Amino acid sequence: MNDDFTPECSSEIDAAPATDIEQDAQTLAPTRPADLPEEFWDDTQGTIRTDALIASYVALEHKLDRSLVLPDEDDAEGWDRLFEAVGRPSSPDGYAIEPPHPLLTVDPEVTQALHEAGFNQKQAQLVYDLAASRLLPTLENALGDIEASREKHRLVEHFGGEERYARLSGQMRRWADSRLRPEIADVLGSSFEGVCALYEMMKRQEPELLADGTGDSLAVSQAQLNQMIADPRYWRDRDPDFVSRVTDGFRRLYQG
């Protein structure tokens, strides 16, 4: 036996610092792999949390199962399954379209095309809503222009030509603006019948305005000319048409 071994030496070995041993143990303890998310690592045990990893994998499989896969272009059955999955009705009759305007009705050919394209209820309704908000105003404006043109043609023929109608329409417009409420004048001026009624109203109240030498108006008297001269349109506003009527009235009255 080695004589150098003494109880004092044994005591020094037993008293070695515990911190060194703990540091070595920590150095040897397993650490989380760099590419492993923290939720899958158990720091206390130094192991992978297999239960959390399995649960996450199962959830991912369910999600993938619910994902839509586009079928091939010529796979009619596959497209039908896809369209049904996104809400397309089983037949065109299955759409519950609510026409957004009285001029729009459900068109069987349109709904058939929408069904073949895979539109669901919400998408099909949107097509009709867009037609009402975008196309109808354009169509109504176009129809209004056509109707206005047709009405003007009737008025030109009724009043004896383009030139005479242009003059009379200006007189009627100014007369209506000075004597009628704007909404009434607008309604009367928007149709053939309304313009004719406006003409008759003006002719009864102020026949001197319509004396144009064509033989179809009432004769102008000195009393009527005096009234016209006293009218503010003659002496204050100097309305060109009104002044011209007064001048023409005096010419016809005194020159024959």
Range of the domain at 231: 219-256
189 part of a folded domain: yes
Residues 80 and 134 in one domain: yes
Exposed / middle / buried, residue 19 (Cβ in 10 Å: 0-12, 13-18, 19+): exposed
Nearest Cα to Cα of residue 94 among 129, 125, 140? 125
Query: What number of helices (H) and strands (E) belong to the chain?
Result: 13, 2
The answer to whether the beta carbons of residues 250 and 225 sit under 8 Å apart is yes
Q: Tell me: the pLDDT tens digits for 70-122?
A: 777 778 887 888 788 888 998 999 999 998 888 788 899 999 999 998 999 99
21 part of a folded domain: no
9 part of a folded domain: no
The answer to whether the beta carbons of residues 232 and 253 sit under 8 Å apart is no
230 part of a folded domain: yes
166 part of a folded domain: yes
177 part of a folded domain: yes
Q: Which pTM was predicted?
A: 0.37
Of the chain, the end-to-end C-alpha distance in Å amounts to 168
How many Å apart are CA 11 and CA 22, to the nearest integer? 20
How many Å apart are CA 173 and CA 194, to the nearest integer? 12
102 part of a folded domain: yes
- Amino acid identity, residue 146? I
Residues 244 and 200 in one domain: no
Residues 190 and 245 in one domain: no
Number of domains within the chain: 3
The answer to whether the beta carbons of residues 182 and 171 sit under 8 Å apart is no
Exposed / middle / buried, residue 95 (Cβ in 10 Å: 0-12, 13-18, 19+): buried
Exposed / middle / buried, residue 76 (Cβ in 10 Å: 0-12, 13-18, 19+): exposed
Nearest Cα to Cα of residue 124 among 140, 103, 107, 142? 107
43 part of a folded domain: no
Residue 220 CA, chain-centre distance (Å), reads 57
The percentage of residues in the chain with a pLDDT greater than 90, rounded to a whole number, is: 9
Quickly tell me which residue has 């001048």 as its tokens.
247
**Average pLDDT score over the chain:** 76
Q: Tell me: the pLDDT tens digits for 137-181?
A: 777 776 666 677 788 888 888 888 888 888 888 888 888 887 778
Residues 164 and 135 in one domain: no
